[in-house]
């Protein structure tokens, strides 16, 4: 999403400046173009050379070096920016921008830009709560600029309170949000993710290799695109995406009950979870002991409900998207599931392929629509696959 985007980072002087180096490194890995302007105070903390090395582009700070440039630097930087991030944003820099003061290269460029500004404030908690600082922030918000809320905790000065600059991941999330089209605004999307676990006894269970990555990526992208999201997830170690209503479940029956609660009211159901098809007929209340007379343990499995098939029969206007995880005969089995479960389309993945399926950051999918037309895609990140699926959902919603 940030690929080839021109991000202008204004760095003012605060101890949180060290986090901005990590931020730039991550933005470069996402193929964003990063320009950096440093204030004089920022250069007291870290040298421009460090920023220049991370950003792989010239760092700007010298207002009066302009005479040597062919280009009017502050105007070209201002025009080039797709978005401006001020991080760390000190009370001083926020105050100058809010009050139209342009006394250094950063504030001059910001006066000349029409790009949206995102501020990541970082300062002592008393400074942050100061009514003058708050008033300056309100002024900028009214002009359409955005503030990424600082965290609270022990600050560098030893005080405890609000003022810690937002985490790098949080800042990247806000940058992503800025660029994403909000084509799912007003839509309610229910996503199932991860494995389910079926208990054998209090200490043992059967499950599968699903990590939840595919489903959580879908939830993340849905949120960015403006949807209201319920994420129903089997056990997963992943961080819950911000902004979702999170419903943790354990067994396939739990998952079915959770979907039941939200289904009637949703516009879209995405079944990316890998629910167990079977469960032990009897789950022992106590730990099953090794019996020295027996060399084997026999467990009888019974079928779990097929959640997708159940809601496929029940659906009215909802768009239902399924997945098919196969190890062989991918297209044949996926098409069968598409019809039997009444999906609007199905995302087939061959989980034996390298870079596809369980617990990978990438996936290789073929999407088959209700007319059984299919499109095969190359290897992509799970975020990209999620966006592909959401693009198709938006088309289907537009048609209905």
> Would you name the residues annotated as active-site residues?
157
Bridge-based pairing of strands 6-11 and 83-89 is parallel
Q: Which is nearer to ligand PMT, 121 or 275 (CB)?
A: 275
Tokens of 82: 């797709």
Using the rule CB under 6 A, is 137 a contact of ligand PMT?
Answer: no
Contact 164, 122 (CB under 8 A): yes
Using the rule CB under 6 A, is 277 a contact of ligand PMT?
Answer: yes
DSSP state of 250: -
Using the rule CB under 6 A, is 188 a contact of ligand PMT?
Answer: no
Contact region for ligand PMT (CB under 6 A) — 145-153, 176-184, 319-327, 386-394? 319-327
Using the rule CB under 6 A, is 220 a contact of ligand PMT?
Answer: no
In whole angstroms, how close is the CB of 342 to ligand PMT at the nearest point?
A: 11
Instruction: Considering only residues 331 through 350, tell me which ones interact with ligand PMT, judged by CB under 6 A.
Output: 337, 341, 349
Residue of 10, 48, 234, 322 interacting with ligand PMT (CB under 6 A)? 322
In whole angstroms, how close is the CB of 140 to ligand PMT at the nearest point?
A: 40
In whole angstroms, how close is the CB of 392 to ligand PMT at the nearest point?
A: 15
Using the rule CB under 6 A, is 107 a contact of ligand PMT?
Answer: no
Q: Which of 338, 306, 314 is nearest to 324 (CA)?
A: 338
Q: Which of 19, 5, 139 is nearest to 84 (CA)?
A: 5
Using the rule CB under 6 A, is 187 a contact of ligand PMT?
Answer: no
Instruction: Considering only residues 287 through 306, tell me which ones interact with ligand PMT, judged by CB under 6 A.
Output: 304, 306
Using the rule CB under 6 A, is 308 a contact of ligand PMT?
Answer: yes
Contact 364, 377 (CB under 8 A): yes
Helix (H, G, I), strand (E, B) or coil at 147: strand
Tokens of 207: 């499950």
State the burial class of residue 232 (Cβ atoms within 10 Å of its Cβ: 0-12, 13-18, 19+). buried
Which residues are paired to 191 by β-bridges?
Answer: 231, 270
Using the rule CB under 6 A, is 55 a contact of ligand PMT?
Answer: no
* CA–CA distance, 57 with 59 (Å, rounded to integer): 6
Contact region for ligand PMT (CB under 6 A) — 38-46, 136-144, 167-175, 266-274? 266-274
Q: Which is nearer to ligand PMT, 106 or 351 (CB)?
A: 351
Contact region for ligand PMT (CB under 6 A) — 159-167, 169-177, 223-231, 274-282? 274-282
Q: Which of 223, 225, 191, 197 is nearest to 210 (CA)?
A: 197
Q: Which is nearer to ligand PMT, 140 or 197 (CB)?
A: 197
State the burial class of residue 139 (Cβ atoms within 10 Å of its Cβ: 0-12, 13-18, 19+). middle
Contact region for ligand PMT (CB under 6 A) — 48-56, 283-291, 318-326, 369-377? 318-326
In whole angstroms, how close is the CB of 351 to ligand PMT at the nearest point?
A: 5
HSE-CB at 246 with a 13 A cutoff on CA atoms is: 15
Helix (H, G, I), strand (E, B) or coil at 237: coil
Q: Which is nearer to ligand PMT, 179 or 358 (CB)?
A: 358
Using the rule CB under 6 A, is 279 a contact of ligand PMT?
Answer: no
* CA–CA distance, 209 with 362 (Å, rounded to integer): 15
Contact 323, 346 (CB under 8 A): yes
Instruction: Considering only residues 358 through 387, tell me which ones interact with ligand PMT, judged by CB under 6 A.
Output: 358-359
Tokens of 211: 């990590």
Tokens of 79: 């025009």
Binding site for ligand PMT (CB under 6 A): 194, 210-214, 252, 271-275, 277, 304, 306-308, 322-325, 337, 341, 349, 351, 357-359
């Amino acid at each position: 999403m940030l690929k080839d985007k021109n991000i202008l980072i204004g760095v003012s002087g605060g101890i949180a400046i060290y986090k901005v180096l990590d931020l730039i490194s991550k933005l470069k890995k996402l193929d964003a173009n990063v320009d950096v302007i440093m204030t004089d105070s920022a250069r007291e903390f870290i040298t421009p050379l460090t920023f220049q090395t991370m950003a792989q582009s010239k760092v700007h700070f010298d207002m009066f070096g302009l005479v040597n440039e062919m280009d009017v630097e502050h105007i070209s930087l201002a025009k080039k920016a797709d978005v401006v991030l001020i991080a760390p944003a000190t009370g001083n820099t926020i105050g100058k921008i809010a009050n139209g003061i342009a006394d250094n290269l950063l504030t001059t460029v910001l006066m000349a830009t029409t790009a949206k500004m995102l501020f990541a404030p970082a300062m002592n908690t008393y400074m942050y709560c100061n009514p003058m600082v708050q008033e300056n922030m309100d002024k900028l918000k009214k002009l359409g600029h955005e503030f990424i809320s600082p965290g609270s905790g022990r600050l560098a000065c030893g005080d405890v309170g609000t003022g810690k600059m937002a985490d790098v991941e949080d800042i990247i999330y806000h940058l992503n949000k800025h660029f994403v089209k909000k084509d799912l605004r007003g839509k309610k999307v229910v996503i199932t993710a991860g494995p389910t676990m079926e208990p054998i006894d209090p200490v043992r269970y059967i499950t599968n290799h699903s990590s939840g990555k595919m489903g959580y990526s879908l939830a993340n992208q849905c949120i960015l695109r403006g949807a209201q999201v319920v994420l129903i997830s089997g056990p997963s170690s992943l961080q819950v995406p911000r902004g979702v209503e999170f419903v943790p479940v354990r067994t396939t029956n739990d998952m079915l009950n959770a979907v039941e609660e939200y289904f009637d009211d949703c516009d879209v159901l995405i079944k990316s979870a890998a629910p167990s098809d079977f469960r032990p007929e009897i789950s022992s209340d106590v730990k099953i002991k090794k019996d020295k007379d027996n060399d084997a343990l026999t467990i009888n499995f019974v079928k779990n409900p097929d959640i997708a098939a159940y809601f496929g029969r029940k659906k009215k206007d909802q768009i239902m998207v399924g997945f098919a995880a196969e190890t062989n005969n991918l297209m044949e089995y996926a098409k069968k599931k598409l019809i039997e479960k009444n999906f609007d389309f199905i995302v087939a993945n061959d989980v034996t392929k390298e870079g596809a399926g369980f617990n990978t950051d990438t996936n290789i999918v073929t999407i088959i629509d209700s007319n059984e037309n299919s499109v095969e895609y190359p290897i992509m990140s799970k975020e990209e696959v999620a966006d592909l699926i959401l693009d198709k959902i938006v088309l289907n919603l537009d048609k209905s």
